[in-house]
Structure 1
Amino acid sequence: MEVRFALPNLMLQALPVLEALVQQGFEAFFVGGCVRDTAMGLPIKDVDIATSARPEQVMSIFPRCIPTGLQHGTVTVLHDGESYEVTTFRTESEYEKHRRPLQVEFIDRLDGDLLRRDLTINAMAMNAAGELYDPFRGLDDLKKRMIRCVGDADARFQEDALRMLRTVRFASQFEFAIAHSTWRAVIKHRELLRHIAMERVQAELDRMIGGAHPGRALHLLAACKLLDYTGTVLPAAHKLAQGYTLYSGLDKLADPDTRYAALLMAEGITIPDAEETLKALRLPTQKMNAILSVLSIQTAMKQWNGKSDLRLVWTSLILQYGEEASRRWLSIAAWDRKHNLHDQTELLDKWLNGMPAMTLKQLKLNGKQLAEGLQRVPGTWTGQLLKQLLLEVALDKLPNEKELLLKQAQIWNAEDR
């Protein structure tokens, strides 16, 4: 039975590329995620094209293109201000270290190209008329809400072990079940994940944590224990994968960094273990520091016993770790009903929003003015005194006005002498 879909705008824009290949006597189809998402009625993000034309033939047809990966048959065609990856139908030989094919062979048939793909829902193709070509019944699996490997699941995961993480990601992303044969193969071959570069692991984990259903992803990761088999040991892997029991509403938190921090704030994960885990995942330094700053605030706030001045503790932490980290921590504490300061978050938020200054740049007195006003040679004392003034301003005990700041500095300076 013929199944036809209306092509979304991004595919319609790419249609001239597809039609140019067909007009030259080659087969050409839309493939991959754009076909899957079109069949699901979801917006598509990019367009991939597969063709029987060899890379050199593709380059001869289109005047503007980039030889992106000729050894793998991929040419990036530039058309009307957009770029499209056009890849020759291919099969892949034995895989090296369960990740990369040792050899790529160009072929003339679409079936063979689709057979090398990971999941049935990603192994569909669509022609220029929107007609679906679906040899592995991916559309049926979409209707059943099922994630299933193309062909033999054991073979697919042995070829490329990253596919196990992709299986979990797609199952969580779409809230699909995983076919028994595919799940059994994940458990059987999970040790192969050690062959995958940690950057690849991190990229998949980022998509899961940052996706619409991170709790489901964590549930599946905990069940199959995939993160226990990464090439570099993740000290916080056990807690990270079991965070769904503590943070089932993780999707309510705004961004991936806040979600990572919430998971790592789970009982039993120390800052050294968290740092080692984030380093092992090859997170960019800026991202890692952003997460660790939230954990540092958590460590300090967790120690508050109701006796010390909460506003002083909170304000000092904001000045030390910055507004962004403080707001992330606050959103986690407000969301986690079991948090020791959950009931104080409205007050903490009020103090944060009411702070007249949070950085030395916002202070109406700089180091040069301070040194001149006190008739002293600038030194380490300058920064220390400015920080002391900033704390007073942030606590709303001192107006952020140059003359008044300088007057207070003069009083402290006289007391120290």
Structure 2
Amino acid sequence: MSGHEPQIKISIPAAASRLLGALRRAGFEAYVVGGCVRDSLLGRTPGDWDICTSARPEQVRTVFSAYRQILTGEKHGTVAVIVGGTPYEITTYRVDGQYHDSRHPDAVQFVPQVQPDLARRDFTINAMAYAPGEGLIDLYGGRSDLHACLMRCVGDPEERFAEDALRILRAVRLAAQLDFALEEATERAALDMRQSIQNISAERIYTELDKLLAAPAAGKVLSRYGRILAGAVPEIEPCIGCTQPGRWHCYDVWQHTAVAVELLDVAGMDDKNARILRWSVFLHDLAKPECRTVGPDGAAHFPGHNQAGSKMARSILLRLKAPTYLVESASALVAIHDGALPSDDAGILNMLNRYGAAFLQRLCRLKLADLAAHARNAGVMQREQQVRAFEGRMLELSATACYTVGQLAVNGASLMDAGIAPGPAVGKALNTLLRSVMEGRLPNEKAALLAALEKEGLL
């Protein structure tokens, strides 16, 4: 078989090896295939081990009748066999029929050989199969493309993308995860066919973009393939080439965004907070082109881009059917990402009261990523120092100071015990006390707080 490399050795986990062995002992061909082969050759630990086989679905079910099985993909040739709580997808060799929705084949046809099955796959680096004792089957130069760090479609890229428009986004997302580039013909076809991405479900687009933004080379890929990604998020297009004033900036709006994503620090953040930050940085300046004005000095200005950007971020995330927490948090961050930060304790406590410490930590990370993608001059570095000073003091105050009604040394019950009638007056009194404590005019002590109310005639 052409492209057969018996000298290549891949270490397969025991469970997947057991499944391969069972299929082969039953008289069928079987290989691990796709991403697990690619990742193994790159020295990465695969997340999944998928198997392709000459056995038809009903034969796979028979071979593994003693195992629990998931049959939701059986119509397309996939039976998932559960081993030790982990599902392993076993798929019959197949060729796909016509694609009329730019996503799914209308039908599949099972075939007895592995070669046509590999020919239908998306990229050369995903079209390799392996079996112990037999070695690597690489019919399309996937191993060579791995060494060259290239994403190349199997066969004609226009045909591959016409079959499934999601492959356009997958190409860019994998490039970001692997730090690869798109091969020339693949890039050209992706760019020409980017509008077909709109045929994909919003949830699929969101998932690919979310993985892309979390990838190691996200910034580099955003910088290089912005026009392709505009097929998924059209608001990107006007940002490409939208110039900014040289006093503060050294990039256009889109390149600034790409560099900010690259330089964002999410160290120590959990997945949810990191996701909010990545999307906030990605979206923070997309409204700049629609807000752009040019002053008498010829410099560009972007009045109102915070508020316009917040609305745009919300619109994009709702369109992509993103989780509600992400819609709310990202749009709120974009709304104030370019605003001034207070340096006095009362001002910082006011922000803590309004937004909370977790939100303000995210805001500081967003601001620092934004500033890191500016020109490197004294003015920008002074702003960075201000953000770091605010963050440090904010964290100190959040741990020691009173900035919410719930932290006061009195509560509604104690105020009513002291003589305030139940109703709105209780809440008003608590907020008055909180303001006085935050501004340093009262200590947060029960006796002092009640004395202040008595002095004001409220008790």
What residue is the counterpart of 2:229 in the other structure? Answer: 226
Q: What SS does the corresponding residue of 1:133 show, helix, strand or coil?
A: strand
Distance 1:159 1:186, change over 3 A: same
Residues 319, 359 of structure 1: 8 Å contact kept:
yes
1:124-143 aligned at under 5 Å gives the runs: 124-129=128-133, 131-143=135-147
Q: What SS does the corresponding residue of 2:87 show, helix, strand or coil?
A: strand
What residue is the counterpart of 2:391 in the other structure? Answer: 349
Q: 1:259 aligns with which of 260, 264, 278?
A: 278
Q: What stretches of structure 1 of length at least 5 have no aligned partner?
A: none
What residue is the counterpart of 1:328 in the other structure? Answer: 362
What residue is the counterpart of 2:311 in the other structure? Answer: 272
1:60-71 aligned at under 5 Å gives the runs: 60-62=62-64, 63=66, 64-71=68-75
Q: 1:115 aligns with which of 119, 122, 132?
A: 119
> Residue type of the partner of 2:172?
V
* Partners of 1:50 and 1:56 in 2: CA distance: 14
> Residue type of the partner of 2:108?
V
Total equivalences in the alignment? 403
1:366-381 aligned at under 5 Å gives the runs: 366-379=411-424, 381=425
Distance 1:263 1:189, change over 3 A: closer
How far apart are 1:394 and its partner, in Å? Answer: 5.1
Between 388-397 and 338-347, report the one with greater CA deviation. 388-397
What residue is the counterpart of 1:152 in the other structure? Answer: 156
How far apart are 1:237 and its partner, in Å? Answer: 6.0
* Partners of 2:451 and 2:145 in 1: CA distance: 74
* Partners of 2:314 and 2:234 in 1: CA distance: 10
* Partners of 1:181 and 1:192 in 2: CA distance: 17
Residue 407 of structure 2 is aligned to residue 365 of structure 1: no
Q: What SS does the corresponding residue of 1:275 show, helix, strand or coil?
A: helix
> Residue type of the partner of 1:253?
D
Residue 326 of structure 2 is aligned to residue 314 of structure 1: no
Give CA deviations for 1:29-51 in whole Å, capped at 9, x if unaligned. Answer: 11121111000001211211111
How far apart are 1:375 and its partner, in Å? Answer: 2.6
What residue is the counterpart of 1:382 in the other structure? Answer: 426
1:10-409 aligned at under 5 Å gives the runs: 11-62=13-64, 63=66, 64-129=68-133, 131-222=135-226, 224-227=227-230, 229-230=231-232, 234-235=234-235, 238-239=238-239, 243-251=254-262, 252-254=264-266, 255-266=274-285, 268=288, 269=305, 270=308, 271-298=310-337, 301-302=339-340, 310-335=344-369, 336-337=371-372, 338=374, 341-355=383-397, 356-379=401-424, 381-393=425-437, 398-409=442-453
Distance 1:378 1:368, change over 3 A: farther
Sequence identity (%): 32
How far apart are 1:328 and its partner, in Å? Answer: 0.6
Q: What SS does the corresponding residue of 1:30 show, helix, strand or coil?
A: strand
Give CA deviations for 1:59-94 in whole Å, capped at 9, x if unaligned. Answer: 222222121311111111111232211111111111
> Residue type of the partner of 1:194?
Q
Q: TM-score of the superposition, structure 2-length normalised?
A: 0.80
* Partners of 2:23 and 2:217 in 1: CA distance: 39
How far apart are 1:367 and its partner, in Å? Answer: 2.5
Distance 1:130 1:191, change over 3 A: same
Residues 36, 122 of structure 1: 8 Å contact kept:
yes
How far apart are 1:147 and its partner, in Å? Answer: 0.9
Residues 40, 142 of structure 1: 8 Å contact kept:
yes
Distance 1:382 1:181, change over 3 A: same
* Partners of 1:99 and 1:401 in 2: CA distance: 65
How far apart are 1:382 and its partner, in Å? Answer: 3.3
> Residue type of the partner of 1:348?
F
* Partners of 1:128 and 1:370 in 2: CA distance: 76
Between 153-162 and 89-98, report the one with greater CA deviation. 89-98
Q: What SS does the corresponding residue of 1:78 show, helix, strand or coil?
A: strand
Distance 1:405 1:236, change over 3 A: farther
> Residue type of the partner of 1:40?
L
RMSD of the TM alignment (CA)? 2.7
Between 17-26 and 310-319, report the one with greater CA deviation. 310-319
Distance 1:369 1:73, change over 3 A: farther
> Residue type of the partner of 2:162?
Q
Distance 1:189 1:68, change over 3 A: same
* Partners of 1:46 and 1:358 in 2: CA distance: 48
